[in-house]
Amino acid sequence: MTIAVVQIKTSEAYPWILEKHYAKRMPSVSYAFGLYEKTNLVGIVTYGQPASPFLCLGICGEEWRLNVLELNRVSIESNIKNSASILISRSLKLLPKPKIIVSYADTVMDHVGYIYQASNWIYTGATKERTDMASGDGKHSRHHKGDTNNRVFRSSKHRYIYFVGSKTVIKKMSKCLNYKKLPYPKGDVSRYKNNAKIKTQLMMEL
């Protein structure tokens, strides 16, 4: 099977984000990439500005805060083995450099982050459960602009970091990393064993 990963228009990712992804809402998207089987779009991954400026500053400090992007959506329907890892690894190479990529695996969805572990991302622990102000649509409010009387639960998420750039630049960014590198977490993989397509769909970690 001929497969390819190419940059696509953000609008091409809309149906995958709003209809196929479990979150059903649009994040900030700066770059979008598609996974193609021949001429068929079978998956997307998007990168955008993190909602929190404090996160951008906190990962590697002031020097690198403008280089931080969040891998914020992955949605795939494919029977190709390791299609999620292929999409992510190839899309990372297509991003402008240097970049520091952060991504999360949601514990409330029983996600652990195996697609990141397979691509040698750095695991830096899990965020704490908390509540945020809700926006007008009842979702989490970005930048603390929302309904102060309505709080929305935010689950704990496994946090992964990946550096994109030359070996020299990656070494510099690694030295500035403010999070401790931790062993990869493990979870129940029995639900992934029987059907390749179901496995791919369930392993969407975002």
User: Which of 63-72, 77-86, 101-110, 195-204 is modeled with the greatest confidence?
Assistant: 63-72
Predicted confidence band of residue 106 (pLDDT cuts 50, 70, 90): confident
Question: Does the pLDDT value for residue 180 go beyond 90?
Answer: yes
pLDDT band at 113 (very low <50, low <70, confident <90, very high): very high
- The answer to whether 65 touches 54, Cβ cutoff 8 Å, is no
Alpha carbons 157 and 145: distance in angstroms, whole number: 22
Distances (CA, A) of 159 to 5, 107, 184, 198: 25, 11, 10, 24
Confidence of residue 170 (pLDDT cuts 50, 70, 90): very high
The residue whose two tokens read 């001929």 is 2
Q: What is the pLDDT of residues 53-69, one digit of tens each?
A: 999 999 999 999 999 99
24-82 pLDDT per residue, tens: 899 999 999 999 999 999 999 999 999 999 999 999 999 999 999 999 999 999 988 89
